[in-house]
Structure 1
Amino acid sequence: MSTTHHSSEILTLERDHIIDLASKGKRIDNRAPMDYREIKIQTGIIEKANGSAQVDIGKTKVIVGIKIEAGTPFPDTPDEGVQTVNAELTPIAHPTFELGPPGENCIELARIVDRNLRESKAIDLKKLSIIPGKKTFVVFVDLNILDHYGNLIDASTYAALSALLTSKINEYEVKNEELIIKESQQPLPMNDHPIPITFAKIGKTLMLDPNIQEENAMSTRLTVGIDKEDCVCAMQKGGQGEFEPSEIESAVETAIQKSKEIRKIIMEATR
């Protein structure tokens, strides 16, 4: 029997076991369906970055670095700053990740994090304009996955938000339309604190914060982003399965409640 076939059999047995547990309202790591793993946050861990943070959700670990530089605004938003999110998934984080150009999972992760920040207007981009139509500040949000044990979306967004909330931006002055960057700094202007909450559908049961084994067993995934006013600011579905309208309603209600708890953790860690 080949190793590949043997591994496939083990994965199938594990998936069947996870689905069976889900039907009984149980999980492979003994959590309740709506329980989150422990969240840990560290900030200021990259010395030369404008801001940085590491977030651990269970054994999933993500580091985010923020770099802020002067650049050119987009033509359709000449009086606003620019926000750009990039993700890096390497074999160090998980054997299924490969070196090379960004793959589908990498691109999707960056887009979901970007959408939560952008749609909630988390960064006050209006205050980043320097010379309308000519100069503005560009905020680079770089996601680096250290260990992938499930739910990279939530971990990456929490790390991005924590890094942004502790970021500093250089003060400046403009003389004869020439930008002069000063050494003094001030906090990056922020408007909102979006919190995504991710659910996996396993069999007919919704599971909050899926670990990697549950992600391998799920039929579909739903991420609901909640802003500080308890409004949905973003939503993303993944996988081939379907959600009933009642399941989406239940997920949104749960996301609103859970987002309050997690936002409190992030705000306390970034004071």
Structure 2
Amino acid sequence: MATTEKKVRLLCIEDDAQMRSFLLTQLKARGFQLQAARDGAQAIDIAAMFEPEIVLLDLSLPSLDGLTFLRRLREWSSAPVIVLSAHQTEQIKIRALDLGADDYLTKPFSINELMARIRVALRRSEETARLRISLTGENGLKSTYRSGGEQGLLINFARRKVYSGGKEVHLTPIEYDLLCVLARNAGKVVPRRELLQQVWGPEYTKENTYLRTFIRHLRRKLEPDRSQPRYLLNELGVGYYMPPPDPQ
């Protein structure tokens, strides 16, 4: 059997020991660089360190289920995800695809079919990355955002943790979502209407009071000096923005 041309980083998330062993044996023989996880919580930590180029994901996981893992992964990673699941209901498949899965393969399956799906997913990912770089000059999502050095603002998207001045800051879900949208667009002004739609939903696009209130809350928690904000900045009459991340 042919091996891959390069050591593609692949994360296999499967709680069944026999299936996990089978997949790892087959994939190792085909030249992949592998990491494995038994549950979703463990997989999040591994994904943040390993930065996989493709993910194989079972949905029935302990600790953190596959759909929750997928939703959290998509906050900071665009790696293609192929779901490998015994669930055959259309509702589950649609939910997984809506959350960002690239493909869905129902168990049982042949290794040859899996390899074909992996090749297609990798080709699409490479084409998307080339297009993104040509249009924006950016290489894609990162697992962290840092501004202001070691004692500045740090967002760890994988762990959903935020630090300011070296101390962890506890945010509400809405505060965290708002901060993430701004951080993902760092260096660009995000219009108020777009922020409201992404964080609260399309029915809230005129609720500017919501936005001002939560920006004020975030500044109180994150800014060393709220009268001279460094991280949460506004473009008068347009929207809000954050500074570009520190160079790595």
Q: Give the TM-score, by structure 1 length.
A: 0.24
Query: Which structure's relative contact order is higher, taking Cα pairs within 8 Å and 6+ residues apart?
Result: 1
Q: Give the TM-score, by structure 2 length.
A: 0.25
The structure carrying a bigger strand percent of its residues is: 1
